[in-house]
Amino acid sequence: MGYYRQSCSPYDVQQNQGRKFDFESIKKQYEDTVPLRGKRKDQNIRPIHRRDRAWERMIKVSDTEYYITFDAYAHRYNHNKAITWSLNNGMEFMTIHTPRVMYGQNPSMALNPREFRSSSTFWFYNFNLPADFSMINFRSNKYVRYDNKYYTIEMGDIMFQRKQGEKVWQPLKLHREFKHTIDRTKTKELRETIKPFINYYDIMCELVETKWDWGNPIVKAIVGEDSHERDVKASQALALFKPTDDGVPDSWLRLVERYKHRLTRYGGEHQREKLPKAICSDLYYIVKPCKATEVPLGQLSHDRYKNWYR
């Protein structure tokens, strides 16, 4: 059933679906909700609100722990926990979970913050968090806002606590962010490192054909043509651009073919002047010549190089 049934957007659906839970309210909602009947009766499925959206459901772990999920689809073996509420020794705890990779029967459990790109998932969190909490999308970075402070939810689960019966939550587990900026001293050294290859490129460019390939040419030159490995160390990338005692590495010829293809426009125009920038872009992604500055806890941050560190 689509979101635009009766002209409803994901925001509208989740606003109507959301319950603004805390421990007491999810416990009551769970107990008041009649499980789905029919062929799935034995699964004890209790939807959060709409019974035709059973993949968004409440799950009871014990009398002192409940959680909600947004992707408990019938064809899946696993699902994500979205938010968990629990009680322990008079303290109420709320864990806001970062989505995990849940593909197939054997999930990797690796963090998958890209799940928040789905409007449905983003607003599902927003409208099921307690009333004083909300989700914030700041320049594609996802945060949980509480008491005018912002806490990243992309780096792992975060947790809040309060005494049972009180209103104010206290942060218990958070993640610090770092903002990265280019270190010009390091990039100057890297530009010197690639000069021998650029000289080799100018000699061989007219002698080779172009070769199309996807991905980072430096990574492919290190891991091999058919490998799916992408974990390349900075030391490996730097060693690639050092001439050997016998001349130049064999991999340089393949690099020339790939960079020539990248710099050749449709129509045959070869844009040689863009070569240093193209190589540096690929090399910087691996070496990460950056300085890291810690962002004060509770503040929004935009790190333009954060994908380098994923």
Question: With bands split at pLDDT 50, 70 and 90, how would you rate the model's confidence at 3?
Answer: very low
- Above pLDDT 90, what percent of the chain? 83
pLDDT digits (tens, 9 = 90+) for 122-153: 999 999 999 999 999 999 999 999 999 999 99
The first and second tokens of residue 293, run together, are 């500055």
Q: Which of 162, 149, 176 is nearest to 85 (CA)?
A: 162
* pLDDT at residue 145, as a whole number: 98
Return the structure tokens found at 165. 């019966």
| DSSP calls for 65-89 | EEEEES---TT-S-----EEEEEET
pLDDT grade, residue 215 (50/70/90)? confident
Q: Are 133 and 145 in contact (CB under 8 A)?
A: yes
CA distance 106 to 129: 29
Q: Give the residue with greater pLDDT, 29 vs 104.
A: 29
Which amino acid is it at 172?
Answer: L
Pairing of strands 133-138, 57-62: unpaired
Answer yes or no: are the C-beta atoms of 133 and 24 closer than 8 Å: no
Across 233-259, average pLDDT: 91
Q: Domain-by-domain residue ranges, the chain? A: 5-175, 184-287
pLDDT at 142: 98
Mean pLDDT of the chain: 93
Q: Write the pLDDT tens digit of every residue in 38-85.
A: 999 999 999 999 999 999 999 999 999 999 999 999 988 899 999 999
pLDDT at 1: 45
Whether 6 shows a pLDDT value over 60: the answer reads no
List pLDDT tens digits, range 108-122. 889 999 999 999 999
The residues near 209 (Cβ < 8 Å, ≥ 6 apart) are: 257
pTM (global) more than 0.95? no
What average pLDDT does range 182-190 have in this prediction? 97
Reported as a pLDDT band with limits 50, 70 and 90, residue 212 is: confident
Least confident of 3-12, 22-31, 120-129, 272-281: 3-12
